[in-house]
């Protein structure tokens, strides 16, 4: 496979991604999706390169997905776990990153509970002229680009498996429901979905969906609508994305009770009758069953795209590591 043109050294935010960049990622992910369907699911693209996962915050799917993606590209992988690291002895995050740089790391995948940490490390690496690419795997409430890209890929593949492309979402109604304010997944998705020309509808209680979110829709090809009730967001929706209530990020009491929240904003088969008949549901995981989505809906393979999202994640992350690693953008 010849590397398509890619000029970004780091992937930290989707705010300024161009349609052409989305399409390169979607096409590259589609070819890796094909590789992953083969008997030998591995390519030598990043042989000899070192991909380091620096996850300062818990993760199941994102960390494992990046690790598998790197391995499928034949890279060597290093995994850092804060609890058993020298951070417990007072080492700074930046010194930790420099340690992995000194071991020959080519790509760093970084998750941190504070917004801006991947950006800070990327700037430090550039200052050192290290040539290292930094990928933001979730920073505080800021962004989670690879999650939004795998969501985009899942939707586009569903619409055209052979040629997934951004324009397929033009005019589609996509509802994002739940704890928007604490969600980096929602923020990254807002950039990608409004870039596609989709009609994006956000729904949640006012404490979890401040008016400020309307600014994400300004001067974008798509449109953005805010609702403090579920029904108008679901009406005739093509896709619905549920978000977890991120209670670990709530500094104050923002909700009446989980039961009441489920009654008002929880997704169920019954509620989805307002949507298009073919509606499909996404959720980035981890799921709180019976809170943001009913167990029955989550497990319904006719409606739920959750397993496909996880599968797409590996192909999309292979595409990102490949583009950053072999193109050596920037
Ligand atoms: C999300 C995250 O960590 O931001 N999960 C994920 O990466 N798949 C969403 C969440 O924690 O609810």
Average pLDDT over residues 194-223: 96
Instruction: For residue range 12-41, list pLDDT tens digits in order.
Output: 999 999 999 999 999 999 999 999 999 999
Enumerate the H helices of 131-275 as residue ranges. 145-159, 184-196, 231-234, 258-265
Instruction: For residue range 307-319, list pLDDT tens digits in order.
Output: 999 999 999 999 9
Residues 6 or more apart whose CB falls under 8 angstroms from that of 127 comprise none
Average pLDDT score, the chain: 94
What is d(CA 195, CA 287) in angstroms, rounded to the nearest whole number? Answer: 27
Average pLDDT over residues 192-206: 98
- The residue whose CB lies within 8 Å of the most ligand 1 atoms, and thus the one to mutate among 284, 287, 289, 312, is 284
Q: Is the pLDDT of residue 327 over 60?
A: no
| Bridge pairing between strands 173-177 and 76-80 | unpaired
Query: Nearest 5°: phi and psi at 299?
Result: -90, 5
CA of 105 relative to ligand 1 center, distance in Å: 25
Q: What is the SS3 assignment for 110?
A: strand
Ligand 1 close to Cβ of residue 145 (< 6 A): no
Instruction: For residue range 215-265, list pLDDT tens digits in order.
Output: 999 999 999 999 999 999 999 999 999 999 987 777 777 777 889 999 999
What is d(CA 6, CA 244) in angstroms, rounded to the nearest whole number? Answer: 33
Residue 2: predicted pLDDT: 57
pLDDT bucket at 5, cuts 50 / 70 / 90: confident
- Per the CB < 8 A criterion, the answer to whether 72 and 42 are in contact is yes
- Per the CB < 8 A criterion, the answer to whether 228 and 200 are in contact is no
CA of 286 relative to ligand 1 center, distance in Å: 6
CA of 164 relative to ligand 1 center, distance in Å: 24
Instruction: For residue range 295-310, list pLDDT tens digits in order.
Output: 999 999 999 999 999 9
Residue 329: predicted pLDDT: 41
Residue 68: predicted pLDDT: 98
CA of 149 relative to ligand 1 center, distance in Å: 13
End-to-end CA distance of the chain: 21
Average pLDDT over residues 144-154: 98
Is the bond preceding 165 in cis, omega lying within 30 degrees of 0?
A: no
| Bridge pairing between strands 223-227 and 173-177 | unpaired
Ligand 1 close to Cβ of residue 144 (< 6 A): yes
Please state the pTM of the whole predicted model. Answer: 0.96
Of 56, 40, 43, nearest in space to 92 by CA: 56
Domains and CATH numbers, the chain: 19-143+311-325 (3.40.50.1370), 145-309 (3.40.50.1370)
- The residue whose CB lies within 8 Å of the most ligand 1 atoms, and thus the one to mutate among 136, 144, 287, 313, is 144
pLDDT bucket at 330, cuts 50 / 70 / 90: very low
- Which atom belonging to ligand 1 lies closest to the Cα atom of 61? 8
């Amino acid at each position: 496979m010849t590397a398509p043109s890619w000029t970004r050294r780091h992937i930290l935010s989707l705010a300024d991604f161009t349609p052409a960049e989305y399409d390169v990622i979607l096409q590259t992910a589609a070819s890796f999706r094909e590789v992953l369907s083969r008997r030998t699911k591995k390519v030598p693209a990043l042989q000899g390169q070192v991909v380091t996962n620096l996850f300062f915050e818990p993760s199941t799917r994102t960390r494992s997905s990046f690790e598998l993606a790197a391995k499928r590209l034949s890279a060597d992988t290093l995994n850092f776990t804060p609890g058993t690291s020298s951070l417990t002895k007072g080492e700074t995050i930046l010194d930790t990153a420099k340690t992995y740089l000194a071991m020959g790391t080519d790509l760093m995948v970084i998750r941190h509970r504070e917004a801006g940490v991947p950006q800070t490390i990327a700037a430090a690496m550039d200052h050192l002229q290290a040539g290292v690419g930094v990928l933001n795997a979730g920073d505080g409430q800021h962004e989670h680009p690879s999650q939004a890209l795998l969501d985009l890929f899942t939707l586009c593949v569903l619409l055209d498996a052979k040629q997934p492309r951004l324009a397929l979402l033009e005019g589609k109604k996509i509802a994002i429901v739940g704890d928007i304010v604490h969600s980096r997944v929602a923020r990254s998705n807002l950039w990608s979905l409004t870039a596609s020309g989709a009609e994006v509808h956000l729904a949640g209680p006012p404490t979890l969906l401040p008016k400020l979110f309307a600014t994400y829709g300004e001067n974008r090809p798509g449109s953005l609508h805010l609702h403090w009730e579920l029904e108008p967001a679901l009406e005739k929706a093509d896709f619905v994305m549920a978000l977890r209530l991120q209670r670990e990020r709530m500094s104050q009491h923002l909700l009446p009770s989980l039961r009441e929240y489920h009654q008002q904003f929880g997704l169920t088969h019954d509620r989805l009758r307002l949507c298009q008949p073919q509606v499909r549901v996404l959720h980035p995981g981890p799921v709180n069953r019976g809170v943001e989505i009913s167990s029955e809906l989550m497990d319904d393979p006719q409606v739920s795209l959750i397993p496909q999202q996880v599968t797409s994640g590996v192909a999309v992350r292979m595409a990102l590591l490949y583009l950053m690693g072999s193109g050596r953008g920037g």
